[in-house]
């Protein structure tokens, strides 16, 4: 068996899971950065209690759940129907399905292979490193003897970028904006200052896409979304950019492969009330045929 596991943070599938998501996320040492496990757990509890009601209210506006799990399951189902060499499944970091239960579904031996596929185009310790560490620890814990392979970050991949450009231009044909905003999930500046490659990878990716799209847009803007708390984060903020734009724009969520609350609610709903200009949102790759083609090409 060749088992491909997509790795992502996950999204709450009901309002009760919002608390589970927050508690697990802020318990992640790569997120909160507190080495003492007991202190980190206490701080995570405080932050969770402070934020859970607001998160639940936001989720109610999306129908009570994030679309991430359903879209990822659809991606797996389509890939499993499309071919029979690989079995596709997915693991979340902060809400079910977790690594323990997914790995227990399969009988794996030395002749089998597990392919870990983080659904992040750019590397960060808060996403790729954290997800891989959890999976590798669980594989060791369950004494699974299968070979393990990891798919590397893919923002430079030609097939991936052809898909991104195709999706951007398809939306532009229906909403003719001259400004393209690349919105990436923000990170605290302190994480970048410790050597995290995320900002560099995002900047590099924007330059690649700008070169390929320069004949279609007059202006390109990179901005960062989803800032939390009072510390310094990567800037400029997507919300500030939208509040100061006079011309209509398209937004591409450059750091996301699957639509989630940050794209559907934050970019698609919340920022509409802040924006000075009219804008439209381009969907993530999700379970599209082009994304499946890129995935199959990457693992073969």
pLDDT of residue 227: 92
Which parts of the chain sit beneath pLDDT 70? Answer: none
Architecture of domain 1-153: 3-Layer(aba) Sandwich (3.40)
Ranges in the chain annotated CATH 3.40.50.1400:
1-153, 158-281
pLDDT of residue 245: 94
Category of 63 on φ-ψ map: left (φ > 0), alpha (ψ -120 to 50) or beta: left
pLDDT, tens digit, for every residue of 137-193?
999 999 999 999 999 999 999 999 999 999 999 999 999 999 999 999 999 999 999
pLDDT, tens digit, for every residue of 266-295?
999 999 988 988 999 999 999 999 999 999
Could you please report the per-residue DSSP string of 165-229? HHHHHHHHTTS--SEEEEEEE--BHHHHHTT--HHHHHHHHHHHHHHHHTTT-SEEEEEEE---S
- The topology under which CATH files domain 158-281 is Rossmann fold (3.40.50)
The distance from CA 176 to its chain's CA centroid, rounded to whole angstroms, is: 27
pLDDT of residue 230: 82
pLDDT of residue 122: 99
CA distance 35 to 28: 10
What's the whole-model pTM score? Answer: 0.95
Whether 43 and 28 have beta carbons less than 8 Å apart is answered as no
pLDDT of residue 95: 97
Q: How many CB atoms lie within 10 A of CB 77?
A: 12
DSSP state of 49: H
């Amino acid at each position: 068996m060749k088992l491909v596991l997509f790795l992502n943070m996950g999204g709450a599938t009901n309002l009760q899971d919002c608390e589970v998501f927050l508690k697990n996320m802020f318990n992640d040492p790569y997120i909160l950065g507190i080495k003492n496990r007991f202190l980190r757990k206490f701080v995570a509890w405080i932050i969770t209690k402070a934020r859970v009601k607001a998160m639940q209210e936001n989720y109610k506006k999306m129908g009570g759940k994030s679309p991430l799990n359903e879209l990822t399951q659809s991606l797996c189902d389509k890939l499993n129907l499309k071919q029979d060499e690989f079995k596709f499944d997915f693991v979340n970091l902060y809400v079910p399905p977790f690594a323990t239960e997914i790995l227990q579904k399969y009988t794996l031996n030395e002749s089998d292979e597990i392919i870990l596929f983080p659904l992040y185009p750019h590397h960060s310790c808060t996403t790729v490193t954290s997800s891989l560490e959890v999976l590798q620890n669980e594989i060791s814990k369950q004494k699974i003897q299968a070979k393990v392979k990891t798919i590397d970050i893919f923002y430079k991949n030609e097939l991936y970028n052809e898909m991104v450009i195709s999706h951007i231009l398809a939306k532009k044909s229906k909403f003719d904006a001259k400004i393209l905003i690349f919105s990436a999930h923000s990170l605290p500046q302190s994480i970048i200052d410790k050597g995290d490659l995320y900002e560099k990878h995002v900047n590099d990716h924007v330059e690649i896409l700008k070169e390929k799209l320069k004949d279609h847009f007059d202006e390109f803007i990179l901005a960062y979304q989803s800032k939390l708390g009072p510390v310094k984060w990567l800037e400029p903020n997507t919300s500030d950019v939208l509040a100061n734009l006079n011309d209509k724009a398209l937004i591409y969520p450059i750091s996301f492969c699957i639509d989630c609350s940050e794209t559907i609610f934050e970019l698609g709903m919340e920022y509409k009330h802040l924006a000075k200009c009219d804008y439209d949102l381009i969907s993530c790759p999700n379970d599209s045929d082009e994304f499946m083609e890129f995935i199959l090409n990457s693992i073969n």
